[in-house]
């Protein structure tokens, strides 16, 4: 089959069931595409022989009629997920050489569903960043970059996941989203990225960044694949005390339901200075699409939106400074022995092992948590977080879902924001509020910038109402008819 890379996961499952293709054939096509797109730096470790073993096992189960929902589907795994026997570094030098003895809950669910692991995927160091530039392996490159122009950012922190799904070097990929790390790279690479409700996917075995915000989710080429992958990833887990025991709503039915009669909130605070005019236009276009499909648009107010970024950039670094205290050169990864005392070894290991952005977050977080400043920063940020959550609670008494832009701009050139952390942090302006409130959100590719780069629309819904998200996302996808057309994709995808 020549167009094998063009199949969505749903289509590939059908082709596998009908024996039109085999899992081994599909996996080999992706191994070829990984080879072809290596210049995008999407993978940090390729596990091709493991992939072929898993594909052979899938073919056996398919032949025996025991196929799971993701049977034979090639999956890329963000390097933040612990994978048993496969080095897991969180793209940090400090974790180089760390090979977990156990599998994360989420990836385990994917393998139980029949998924085939292609390898570990590039991301920002400890998932801190918006351009994949803080990775110890160098940045992933956006496949929409032109052949002769500058390399564009794939977004971050899950930049490699978005680059690989968009360029055809994985069919689906895992990501994590603490402040936008699934939705922003998905928007910049023209694919679908979903952050589930906090608690929907277990955090067990995912390298922790900010534990009250971190959530795993799917990267896919379309909305139906997103639902399929999320159903497999999600589930209650006793090993994560914040994992929720709440049944997943019927996402398949939701995607059939349309939006007739739904109330869609349009938050007035999401018009920002300096926003790309093409994004404003796309947002208005999205509103018309939903209205034409029978939804009612309701202007809403989320008055504390402007505090979301400052609040996030206190809480996330505070939690990070505490989570990252465990990397001391004793228990995991790399160690630098200098001086002779234990303290000197800690200092040398952490100085050499962490990159600049991670050190910046540790310092901000430690400061915000220190005795004299705790009330003024950390406690205040927690109070503001509650106000932001209350804004959403109030909004969802009036509306079923909220429509916003996903990012304030299309993909930017690598390097241009690297020396200006505040400009980089502004990338998360539309995505961070959902993490603070714990609610689910999706980014759906919906149009192009003037330069022909992808732009996304974001749909938000109340906690555990992923059905609402997929209901609206499916309608947007049908209306937008977005074409995934990156220049630097594998030949078989173009
Ligand atoms: N860009 C944000 C940050 O740097 C979000 C990262 C994420 O969601 N992991 O913190």
Residue 1 has pLDDT above 70, yes or no: no
Asked if residue 441 belongs to a domain, the reply is yes
Q: Which residues contact 395 (CB under 8 A, 6 or more apart)?
A: 265, 267, 300, 301, 302, 402
pLDDT in tens, 105-118: 999 999 999 999 99
What is the band of 2 on the pLDDT scale with cuts at 50, 70, 90? low
Domains identified in the chain, total number: 1
Q: Is the CB of 323 under 6 A from ligand 1?
A: no
Residue 353 lies in a domain: no
User: Tokens representing 285?
Assistant: 């276009």
What digits encode the pLDDT tens for the residues 379-389? 999 999 999 99
CA 211 to chain centre: 15
| Averaged pLDDT, 71-97 | 98
Closest CA to 315 of 422, 210, 458: 210
What confidence score (pLDDT) does residue 426 get?
86
DSSP bridge partners of 29: none
Beta-bridge partners for 402:
265, 460
131 pocket-lining for ligand 1 (C-beta < 6 Å): no
Cα 11 to middle of ligand 1, angstroms: 32
> Using a 6 Å cutoff on CB, does residue 133 contact ligand 1?
no
CA separation (Å) from 63 to 22, 56, 59, 72, 86? Answer: 10, 11, 6, 12, 28
Closest by CA position to 427, among listed 437, 417, 419? 417
Q: What is the largest CA-CA distance in the chain?
A: 71
In sequence order, the 6+-apart residues with CB closer than 8 A to the CB of 182 are 158, 161, 175, 176, 193, 194, 195, 217, 218, 219, 443
Per the structure block, which two tokens stand in for 160? Answer: 């490699």
Please indicate, yes or no, if residue 8 is contained in any of the structural domains.
yes
Distance between CA 104 and CA 111 in Å, rounded? 11
- In terms of pLDDT, which residue wins out, 417 or 466? 466
Q: What is the DSSP string of 304-362?
A: TGGGHHHHHHHHHHHHHHHHGGG-SSSSSS-----SSSHHHHHHHHHHHHS-HHHHHHH
3-class state of residue 182 by DSSP: coil
- Residue 338 pLDDT > 90, yes or no? no
Is residue 130 annotated as a catalytic residue, yes or no? no
pLDDT of residue 419: 82
Ligand 1 atom at minimum distance from 313 CA: 10
CB atoms within 10 A of CB 456: 32
**What is the rounded CA–CA span in Å between residue 282 and residue 22?**
40
Answer yes or no: 181 catalytic.
yes
* pLDDT for residue 418: 81
Q: How confident is the model at residue 54 (pLDDT cuts 50, 70, 90)?
A: very high
**Residue 322 CA, ligand 1 centroid: distance in Å:** 17
Mean pLDDT of 327-356: 93
> What's the gap in Å between 107 CA and the centre of ligand 1?
21
Residue 172 in any domain: the answer is: yes
CATH number, position 213: 3.90.1300.10
Catalytic-labelled residue, pool 78, 120, 195, 474: 78
Q: Assess if residue 278 is contained within a domain.
A: no
CB 320 within 8 A of CB 362: yes
Backbone angles phi, psi at 202, to 5 degrees: -65, 140
Domain assignment present for residue 175? The answer is: yes
Q: What distances in angstroms separate CA 292 from CA 24, 202, 262, 297, 460, one per listed residue?
A: 44, 38, 12, 11, 20
78 is catalytic: yes
Is the pLDDT at 333 greater than 90? The verdict is no
Determine whether 6 is exposed, middle or buried from the number of CB atoms within 10 Å of its CB (0-12, 13-18, 19+).
middle
Range of the domain at 72: 4-258+406-480
pLDDT score, position 385: 98
pLDDT value of position 68: 98
DSSP symbol at 375: I
Is any atom of ligand 1 closer than 6 Å to the C-beta of 407? no
Is residue 271 assigned to a domain? no
Interval between CA 54 and ligand 1 midpoint (Å): 32
pTM for the model stands at 0.98
Residue nearest to atom 5 of ligand 1 (CA): 179
Is there a domain that residue 168 lies in? yes
Residue 252: predicted pLDDT: 98
Q: Which of 92, 157, 166, 409 is catalytic?
A: 157
pLDDT at 423: 83
DSSP-assigned letter for residue 94: G
Atom of ligand 1 nearest to the CA of 178: 8
- The predicted-structure confidence for 421-455, as pLDDT tens digits, reads as follows 888 888 899 999 999 999 999 999 999 999 999 99
The ligand 1 atom at the shortest distance from the C-alpha of residue 213 is: 8
Neighbouring C-beta atoms of residue 337, cutoff 10 Å = 10
Q: What is the pLDDT of residues 194-238, one digit of tens each?
A: 999 999 999 999 999 999 999 999 999 999 999 999 999 999 999
Reported as type and span, the H/E element at residue 470 is helix 466-480
Res. 273: pLDDT tops 90:
no
């Amino acid at each position: 089959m020549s167009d094998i890379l063009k199949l969505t996961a749903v289509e590939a499952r059908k082709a596998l069931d009908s024996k039109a293709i085999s899992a081994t054939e599909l996996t080999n096509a992706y191994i070829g595409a990984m080879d072809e797109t290596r210049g995008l730096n999407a993978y940090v470790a390729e596990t091709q022989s493991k992939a072929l073993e898993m594909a052979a096992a899938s073919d056996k189960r398919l032949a025996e009629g025991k196929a799971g929902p993701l049977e034979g589907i090639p999956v890329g795994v963000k390097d933040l997920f612990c994978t048993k026997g496969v080095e897991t570094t969180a793209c940090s030098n400090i974790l180089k050489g760390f090979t977990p003895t156990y599998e994360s809950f989420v990836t385990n669910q994917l393998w139980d569903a029949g998924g085939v692991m292609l390898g570990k995927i590039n991301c920002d160091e400890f998932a801190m960043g918006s351009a994949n530039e803080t990775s110890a392996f160098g940045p992933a490159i956006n496949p929409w970059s032109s052949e002769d122009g500058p390399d564009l950012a794939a977004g971050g922190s899950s930049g490699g996941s978005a680059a690989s799904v968009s360029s055809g070097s994985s069919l689906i990929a895992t990501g994590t989203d603490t402040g936008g790390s699934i939705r922003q790279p998905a928007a910049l690479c023209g694919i679908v990225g979903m952050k589930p409700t906090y608690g929907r996917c277990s955090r067990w075995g995912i390298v922790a960044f900010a534990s009250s915000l971190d959530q795993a989710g799917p990267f896919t080429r379309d909305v139906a694949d997103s639902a399929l992958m999320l159903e497999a990833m999600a589930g209650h887990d006793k090993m994560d005390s914040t994992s929720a025991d709440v049944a997943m709503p019927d996402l398949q039915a939701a995607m059939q339901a349309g939006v007739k009669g739904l109330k869609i909130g349009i938050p007035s605070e999401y018009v920002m200075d300096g926003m790309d005019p093409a994004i404003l236009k796309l947002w208005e276009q999205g509103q018309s699409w939903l209205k034409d499909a029978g939804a009612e648009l309701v202007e809403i107010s989320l008055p504390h939106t402007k505090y979301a970024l400052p609040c996030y950039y206190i809480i996330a670094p505070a939690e990070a400074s505490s989570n990252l205290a465990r990397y001391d050169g004793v228990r995991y990864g790399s160690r630098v022995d200098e001086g002779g005392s234990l303290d000197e070894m800690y200092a040398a290991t952490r100085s050499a092992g962490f990159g600049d952005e991670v050190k910046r977050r540790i310092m901000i977080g430690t400061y915000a948590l220190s005795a004299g400043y705790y009330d003024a920063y950390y406690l205040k940020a927690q109070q503001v977080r509650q106000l932001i959550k209350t804004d959403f609670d109030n909004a969802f008494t009036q509306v079923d879902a909220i429509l916003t832009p996903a990012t304030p701009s299309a993909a930017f050139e690598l390097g241009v924001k690297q020396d200006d952390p505040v400009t980089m942090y502004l990338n998360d302006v539309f995505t961070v509020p959902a993490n603070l409130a714990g609610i689910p959100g999706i980014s759906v590719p919906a149009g192009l910038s003037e330069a022909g780069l992808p732009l996304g629309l974001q749909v938000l819904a109340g906690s555990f109402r992923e059905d609402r998200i997929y209901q609206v996302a499916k309608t947007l996808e049908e209306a937008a008819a977005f074409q995934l057309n990156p220049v630097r994709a594998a030949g078989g995808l173009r």
